[in-house]
Chains A and B, each alone.
Chain A
Amino acid sequence: MKLELTEHLKQTVDALTERYSDKLIEVYQSSGDTFVRVEADANVEICTFLKDELHFDYLTDIFGIDRYTSDERFEVAYNLVSLKHGDRIFLKVRCEEEDPELDSASGVWPAANWAEREVYDMFGIRFRNHPDLRRIYMPEDFQYFPLRKEFPLLGIPGSIELPNTTPDSE
């Protein structure tokens, strides 16, 4: 597929291809947005490179996607903005279903702290070296990961402790 890139994005893709040719898996566009998928073990290294060398200094969000496939089930996307050049790029990494783990980008952008907590809370992907990896929406006592596809829409009865409906009962 032919890519339609702005000058800075073209420069970004070229720099990534040149420097991380073994880590870069694919570059594609969909509905005008540019996505770059890289190897999971190089995510922080490439994040640092994008921030320091290519001015992607603003992290809007990090979110997870459950692909629901048998290999490399989970995908984590970094929504990066270059304020200087006015460009947006999505960096994606994939991880396995069993014990998914990634390196934390919170050392690169402090904004990653809560965003990664959200990914952990919703998908159960753990982030190594995260300063404060707790659940963010669900209580810590909750055992499931709600945005995984196998979690039912109605929830799991009894999974959240609730107050008694009658005041006297224990």
Chain B
Amino acid sequence: MKLTDIQSKVHSTFFKEHQKKLYQSLEDKHTTIEEMDDGDPLKTKMILNMGPQHPATHGVLRLVLQLDGEMIEKTKLDIGYLHRGVEKIAENKTYQEFMPYTDRMDYLSPYSNNVALCLAVEKIANVEVPERAQYIRMIGCELARISSHLLWLGTMVMDAGAISFFIWTFKEREKIYDIMDRLAGHRFTVSHSRIGGVANDITDEAMGAIREFVETFPKELKDYHKLLDRNRIFIDRNEAVGVLKTEDAIGIGATGPVLRGSGYAMDMRKFSPYLRYDQVEFDIPTRLEGDNLARYFVRMEEMSESIRIIQQCIEKLPKGPVRTDNAKQAYPSKDEVYYSMEGMIHDFMMTDTGICPPDGAEAYSAVESPKGELGYYIQSDGTGHPWRLKITGPSFANLQVLENILDGEMVADTVVIIGGMDPVLGEADK
């Protein structure tokens, strides 16, 4: 379809230049096969704008699809509808002040984001973190992974046509929210990690809830497997849909379960172990097919691996402090703040100036968030604010994959493929 045809039909009110360029780039994509086009006499071609408010795009993602009948010829993605400029905000905040913003990046697994930022700051500023805090963080991260995968499972299966499944996965997510409530004091955006440790120790109540969840969840997971693994409709919708080959996946920068579903066992927890992942046993689930079903199996197995990790963490959880006892590097405990003058001063200094990494230092630290490699690059200028803080989000990388694998698929499969990619626009848009 020619740009002039599109423009005669679409009358955009805002950002006219933006729309024009977007359609232009759609026209320009794979121009080599376009030479065959002889004017579309049967009028089977159309441009479909899907989103940004489409319920199946899991956020404010806009897809511009060029269709030939029901077949997608080419796709362009338009992201940025949720752009809040967190990297700019980070440059004007202390490291600890920036923490709540990370919760709102990938809002389905806030705990991993907090830990990712903390690890980067601890790396650049040489902060020692007590052993107990490391294990508490690991428990939190793995719970966040299960929570995120459960949401993915519910919505993805709903996209494939099964509505009630969504309610069952949310029943389990609710339990994780309750655990987070007891562990961190917040249900959703937890901000539990602190630079140098965690905010508070794990209470008996929270521990009890985690133990109970670890006991009961594998049974639920088994039921999910029973319902879906051999389900004719589910397999037909997902098998050989959205296929991504291993070499393409590596070239295009796919990450997380998408890369592992395409046959490459890349996992930050093994690639560059952080926290205490080198002291627990777990496997990296991998599939070779690279289709949506492979991604399903990878994520389902990751959930049971997470349960395995949590069990080991509970066993190994050492006694001791949960935050480093260096007032220049971390907040003092509330007991000190309320009952001693120095504690009060240190608390004030941490809030006002914060931790100051050395001038000119740079560090990159990546964690395996539920969606893939989540990295924080920090460049310091010696003050309490980062000079540059760059967030490498897995959703951004996987959305780029989406733009390339949708070509040639059926339009009805787009929602399932998006569901299988599991993007979170809060993170992709920053």
A31 vs B119: C-alpha distance in the bound complex, in angstroms? Answer: 12
- Residue from the list B251, B266, B363 in contact with A111, Cβ < 8 A: B251
Asked, given contacts A79-B375, A146-B85, whether A31 binds B124 with beta carbons under 8 Å apart, the answer is yes
A139 vs B123: C-alpha distance in the bound complex, in angstroms? Answer: 36
Judge whether A161 and B375 touch: CB under 8 Å. Answer: no
Give the contact stretch, choosing among A8-16, A18-26, A42-50, A52-60: A52-60
**A66 CB within 8 Å of chain B:** yes
Q: Min CB distance, B241 to chain A, in Å? A: 21
Judge whether A134 and B22 touch: CB under 8 Å. Answer: yes
> CB-nearest residue of chain B relative to A148?
B88
- Residue from the list A30, A118, A132, A140 in contact with B362, Cβ < 8 A: A30
Asked, given contacts A60-B392, A86-B271, whether A111 binds B79 with beta carbons under 8 Å apart, the answer is no
Judge whether A137 and B429 touch: CB under 8 Å. Answer: yes
- Residue from the list A77, A135, A146 in contact with B88, Cβ < 8 A: A146
- Residue from the list B80, B266, B361 in contact with A30, Cβ < 8 A: B361
Q: Considering the complex, which residues of chain A in the window 101-128 have a beta carbon less than 8 Å from any beta carbon of chain B?
A: 109-111, 113-115, 118, 122
Residues of A within 8 A of B397 (CB): 60-61, 111
- Residue from the list A63, A118, A132, A153 in contact with B92, Cβ < 8 A: A153
Judge whether A65 and B379 touch: CB under 8 Å. Answer: yes
**A141 CB within 8 Å of chain B:** yes
> CB-nearest residue of chain B relative to A149?
B91
Q: Min CB distance, B260 to chain A, in Å? A: 12
Q: Min CB distance, A123 to chain B, in Å? A: 11
Judge whether A140 and B364 touch: CB under 8 Å. Answer: no
Asked, given contacts A32-B123, A140-B21, A153-B89, whether A114 binds B396 with beta carbons under 8 Å apart, the answer is yes
Residues of B within 8 A of A118 (CB): 396
Q: Min CB distance, A44 to chain B, in Å? A: 16
Q: Min CB distance, A29 to chain B, in Å? A: 9
**A163 CB within 8 Å of chain B:** yes
- Residue from the list B15, B89, B360 in contact with A141, Cβ < 8 A: B15
Residues of B within 8 A of A77 (CB): 377
Q: Considering the complex, which residues of chain B in the window 358-381 have a beta carbon less than 8 Å from any beta carbon of chain A?
A: 360-364, 366, 373, 375, 377, 379
> CB-nearest residue of chain B relative to A162?
B14
Q: Considering the complex, which residues of chain A in the window 134-158 have a beta carbon less than 8 Å from any beta carbon of chain B?
A: 134-141, 146-147, 151, 153
**A83 CB within 8 Å of chain B:** yes
By DSSP majority rule, is chain B's interface helix, strand, loop, or mixed?
Answer: mixed
**B101 CB within 8 Å of chain A:** no
Judge whether A83 and B264 touch: CB under 8 Å. Answer: yes
Judge whether B88 and A138 touch: CB under 8 Å. Answer: no
A90 vs B390: C-alpha distance in the bound complex, in angstroms? Answer: 14
A83 vs B20: C-alpha distance in the bound complex, in angstroms? Answer: 39
Residues of B within 8 A of A71 (CB): none
**A73 CB within 8 Å of chain B:** no
A1 vs B263: C-alpha distance in the bound complex, in angstroms? Answer: 40
By DSSP majority rule, is chain A's interface helix, strand, loop, or mixed?
Answer: loop
Residues of B within 8 A of A58 (CB): 250, 253, 266
Q: Considering the complex, which residues of chain B in the window 232-258 have a beta carbon less than 8 Å from any beta carbon of chain A?
A: 250-253, 255
Residues of A within 8 A of B390 (CB): 61, 63
Residues of B within 8 A of A66 (CB): 388
Interface size classification for chain A: 35 or more
Q: Min CB distance, B379 to chain A, in Å? A: 6
- Residue from the list A113, A137, A139 in contact with B400, Cβ < 8 A: A113
Most central of B28, B29, B397 by chain A CB within 10 Å: B397
Judge whether B362 and A137 touch: CB under 8 Å. Answer: no
Asked, given contacts A114-B396, A139-B18, A140-B18, whether A31 binds B363 with beta carbons under 8 Å apart, the answer is yes
Q: Min CB distance, B294 to chain A, in Å? A: 19
A33 vs B375: C-alpha distance in the bound complex, in angstroms? Answer: 13
Q: Min CB distance, A160 to chain B, in Å? A: 9
Q: Min CB distance, A129 to chain B, in Å? A: 14
A21 vs B124: C-alpha distance in the bound complex, in angstroms? Answer: 30
A134 vs B29: C-alpha distance in the bound complex, in angstroms? Answer: 13
Judge whether A32 and B85 touch: CB under 8 Å. Answer: no
Q: Min CB distance, A169 to chain B, in Å? A: 14
A112 vs B192: C-alpha distance in the bound complex, in angstroms? Answer: 34
Asked, given contacts A32-B363, A161-B14, whether A147 binds B392 with beta carbons under 8 Å apart, the answer is no
**B17 CB within 8 Å of chain A:** yes
> CB-nearest residue of chain A relative to B29?
A132
> CB-nearest residue of chain B relative to A57?
B250
Residues of A within 8 A of B22 (CB): 134, 140
Asked, given contacts A113-B400, A132-B28, whether A33 binds B362 with beta carbons under 8 Å apart, the answer is yes
Residues of A within 8 A of B272 (CB): 86, 88
Residues of B within 8 A of A162 (CB): 14
- Residue from the list A32, A122, A141, A147 in contact with B18, Cβ < 8 A: A141
Q: Min CB distance, B206 to chain A, in Å? A: 33
A141 vs B392: C-alpha distance in the bound complex, in angstroms? Answer: 26
Residues of A within 8 A of B388 (CB): 65-66
Judge whether A114 and B400 touch: CB under 8 Å. Answer: yes
Q: Considering the complex, which residues of chain B in the window 67-93 have a beta carbon less than 8 Å from any beta carbon of chain A?
A: 79-80, 83, 85, 87-89, 92
Judge whether A132 and B364 touch: CB under 8 Å. Answer: no
Residues of A within 8 A of B264 (CB): 83
Residues of A within 8 A of B219 (CB): none
23 A-B Cβ contacts within 8 A?
A32-B123, A33-B362, A57-B251, A58-B253, A60-B253, A60-B373, A60-B392, A60-B397, A61-B392, A77-B377, A88-B364, A109-B251, A110-B252, A111-B252, A115-B253, A122-B87, A132-B29, A136-B79, A137-B79, A137-B83, A137-B429, A140-B22, A141-B16
